[in-house]
Amino acid sequence: DAGITQSPRYKITETGRQVTLMCHQTWSHSYMFWYRQDLGHGLRLIYYSAAADITDKGEVPDGYVVSRSKTENFPLTLESATRSQTSVYFCASSEGGPPYNEQFFGPGTRLTVL
């Protein structure tokens, strides 16, 4: 399927467990992003990637790990989930850089940490 997909769409886990959220895009966009969206905070950037094997921290990276071995995939791992990581997570991709391309968002993953 063309576009950007996320899996799973819903996840319930327990405190201390490791969780990996998957993101896949079919456009071969160079840039990919992970955001979390919480009431009162809007969308906050967790990590981003400019290309395969190039990643960098965003605004709220603590407790998260990313990798990007292939251009089309950008998984986000919560190494030891905490209740404060309960949120909706969005992956996005972009051609990046000038001429200021827009970001394309996935449908989101709703994560609940008990």
Binding stretches for another protein (CB under 8 A): 31, 33, 35, 40-45, 48, 50, 58-59, 90, 92, 94-98, 100-108
Task: Report how far residue 51's alpha carbon sits from residue 89's, in angstroms, rounded to the nearest whole number.
Answer: 20
Smallest distance from another protein to CB 76, Å: 15
User: In which residue are the tokens 């827009």 written?
Assistant: 102
| DSSP SS3 for 85 | helix
The nearest distance, CB 87 to another protein, in angstroms, is 14
Q: From the CB of 43, what's the least distance to another protein, in Å? A: 4
Per DSSP, 103 falls in state P
